[in-house]
Amino acid sequence: MPKITLIGAGSAVFATQILRDILATPELGGGELALIDIDPERLELTRSMAERLAAASSGDWSVRASTRREELLGDSDYLINMIEVAGLANVRSDYEIPLKYGVDQCIGDTSGPGGLFKALRTLPAWIDILHDAEELAPGCLVLNYANPMSISALCGLRASRLPVAGLCHSVQHTSAQLAVYLELPYPELHFRCAGINHLAWFTELSREGQDLYPLLRQRARLPEVYEQDPVRFELMFEFGAFVTESSGHVSEYLPYFRKRADLRERYLRSGYRGESGYYANNWPAWREQSDEQIRQVLNGEEPFPLSRGIEYAADIIQAIETNRPAVVYANVLNAGCIDNLPASGVVEVACLVDANGVQPARFGALPEHLAALIRPHMAFHELVVQAMLERDREKALRALMLDPLTAAACSLAEIRAMFDEMVAAQRAYLPDFLK
């Protein structure tokens, strides 16, 4: 029976979703669930939910929780990482300081200034966790959900000997949304998708061998459809493929939509469709609301059925433990999966999973214009990871200089000034080499 360890388990709603998926998988039979978080109050919420779900499951599951990872990491078969390092303390400066320099972010947690500084706060703790896992659980598979996803996965692969796969839900959510836009039953939609996390592209959309892109372009001309996803439809019109991340988030990855007021007015909408500061302005409240949701479930005020969701972690564990093959999309070392992207970087591709583990499938070459949109971000990832492992402040700064949106909005001198100001604002949460 597997031992499954969640670190950052105080992320109560998301951790509970992962636990629910695992416990709604009777084929696993049971095992041990180890929950780790440095926040004892939020950890207790997740522990209480885990015990309730375990009691409702058909398996023989035990639950343990601790604020000290060395107590629970030992002999883990799976380590699921979902840590958030000092996010609440820095979410305002991640957004407001770049905005002073003209870099307008909607989410700002995986690319650009916000993504860079989230990485600089997160990676030291991530590396320490991996080194502890190497010693205490040398046979474990690491499944990373923490953002910034691509940087975290790449750093994990460079900084440890453990197998690391990064997991997201953008492929699942977007493919389901495409079926809605196309007015098709989701099971009838066939697709191929590849790229990097939040910037992967659906290069094929078909139904029974028929190309669905002409229909999607036709549907996207309808105002009631277009207004749901303006940026992504614009990208599809111009580049010929639909991208995996929301209009608001993907608008931060590219220089076309957020660098001028007239462009923001034309293409951006409320919420995840591009609202300025949407994450910074709402995430603290979402965090409180998620904790309250768990309390309501525990008090019997809200239902929480034991059923599988769309996340891939349970699919991977089930496929490995039962040797029943599954296909997931994961962030893995490229190593030839996508021919025209750097082999040493991390890409998001379809992977076969069975008793042999997570096995990336070869995609081939992306259309060159799509690969060209991705490469600057892979250079950004590479420089951030090098900066962290080599303790090189200038490489961290130069990563920001290469970010497409930042470069579109700022001069080099302005980028340096922004970087210095963000370091000063977040000094207490950053590694010493940046100070």
- If asked whether residues 160 and 174 sit together in one domain, one would say no
pLDDT, tens digit (0-9, with 9 covering 90-100), for 122-136? 999 999 999 999 999
* Percent of the chain whose pLDDT exceeds 90: 97
Write down the pLDDT at residue 13: 83
Q: Is residue 305 part of a domain?
A: no
Considering the chain, what is the average pLDDT of its residues?
97
- If asked whether residues 397 and 418 sit together in one domain, one would say yes
pLDDT band of residue 12 (cuts 50, 70, 90) is confident
CATH of the domain at 216: 3.90.110.10
Write down the pLDDT at residue 343: 98
- If asked whether residues 65 and 137 sit together in one domain, one would say yes
| 166, 187, 203 - which closes a domain | 166
190 is catalytic: no
pLDDT, tens digit (0-9, with 9 covering 90-100), for 218-245? 999 999 999 999 999 999 999 999 999 9
**Alpha-carbon distances, residue 40 vs 61, 83, 207 (angstroms):** 22, 14, 49
The model carries a pTM of: 0.97
| 127, 148, 166 - which closes a domain | 166
CATH of the domain at 155: 3.40.50.720
- If asked whether residues 119 and 244 sit together in one domain, one would say no
pLDDT, tens digit (0-9, with 9 covering 90-100), for 162-183? 999 999 999 999 999 999 999 9
- Measure the CA dihedral 334/340/341/347, to 10°: -50
Domain that holds residue 325: 92-110+167-276+311-435
Q: Is residue 96 part of a domain?
A: yes
Write down the pLDDT at residue 152: 98
**Alpha-carbon distances, residue 224 vs 63, 161, 217, 238, 401 (angstroms):** 47, 49, 13, 20, 38
Can you tell me the mean pLDDT for 18-25? 97
Angle between helices 393-402 and 368-390 (to 10 degrees): 160
Q: Which of 169, 173, 249, 377 is catalytic?
A: 169
- If asked whether residues 131 and 205 sit together in one domain, one would say no
